[in-house]
Structure 1
Amino acid sequence: MKSNTLLLLLCTIFLWTLHAKAQEKSKLLKSWICVSSMSLPDSIVGNNSAYIRYTFEPRTSYVSFDPRWNEHSQDWSLEGNQLKMGSVTYTVEELTDADLVLVQPGIQVVTFRDEQLFCRDSTHLIQDGIFKSEPVFTANRWFAPRLKSEDLHPIIGAALGSSASYRGKVFAVSFVIGTDGSVNDVHVLQSVKDSYDQKVLKQLDKTSGLWTPPFFHGHPIQTRMVFRMNYAGATIVPFN
């Protein structure tokens, strides 16, 4: 009788432990925006205010430095309070539904916040006109459409080929991402050459429908974004 009771107790503890681990992992399955980064004493890493987003999916994580696409995919695992992403291991100092604090021992402490919390803050919502009778907002680090595939740079660059005559010249285009992820209202702001411009616009048009619009209080919104590139490589308009 005692052995059965002990076995039942051990099974209960085992199942509870599995449940607790699953709950901790499920808390991670979202996008987290870096809100502060502090270097630890004796570290050569300085404090960083750049945009950083960690996104966790069941088997893959992404470290992204642009709100408009996912970058740098890698495997991840969580064992106890040890979070491994690729070859880097962090200590999870805090994990709640809203906040994530990671410590890279001897290097830095990074604090993240649930991306969805920013999608309810109108402070960063800046209207930029009207399109199709609906307001358009300026894309920024808090409200930006996200490309579902790779980032826009290689998609655009794939069609350009190489020509030394274009090197150093700047091309800029603005466009609206609709609530359905479509590309609309495209305007060339800075031209390189008509044939060059048309190649870029053709590639951009291929991404129509591949964007996820940002949401405000659970509702998709239209955003206008600007993409700049030069022939030596693509750059983006910095987000405030």
Structure 2
Amino acid sequence: MNTLARVFRRTPSLQSRVAFATGIAAAIVVGIVGTIVWIGITNDRKERLDRRLDEAAGFAIPFLPRGLDEIPRPPHDENVVITARRNGQVSSNSNVVLPELPVGYADTDVNGIRYRVRTVQIHMPDPMLVAVGATYDATIVDTNNLHRRVIALCAFAIGAAAVAGWALAAFAVRPLKRLAQQTRDIDPEGDAPHIDVRGATEAVEIADAVKGLVDRVWEEKGRTKAALA
């Protein structure tokens, strides 16, 4: 029963608590920074996709006033879909026809596939609406890869902080362990024990208090022996 009570009376060690607290603190900081980086990566990859559409539109638009018979494909980005509308006529450089959207950037689904589309209106010589789009496939893959790296780095940072906290706490609790050992080694029938602990201020203060108590006990013990002699 005493053993069971002793087990339940014990709480996690100071070293474990320091390591846990360090890990929690690191998790909060790393979580905030990681979230900012996560959002930044997502926005950056989306902006890259928008620039991709800008380049494709800049290449194709000069050719469109000549006619919609054949819309050229950008030489460096052949996966871009370009759909042009003029006077009710619709033409596309692909089997995919992008829907008519407001001028600017927008997301849309075509045949269950998500596209990022930039719509441009041309007024010369006839009003024309040009939609330039690309799938999110490559962007999502690239973004997910970078997100996985962020998660790995955050996990490593939290783990490293916890390990560092554990190691530093080991040095902090060493004087307390030394004091506990010196206290256990006290022989009631022997000479006055020598308690000497150096290290953290708190450990030294506890050691001084224990030393003062032991000195008083041995002083009273000496008086008792002298009185009985």
Query: How does the TM-score come out when normalised to structure 1?
Result: 0.21
Higher helix share: 2
Higher relative contact order (CA 8 A, sep 6+): 2
Query: How does the TM-score come out when normalised to structure 2?
Result: 0.21
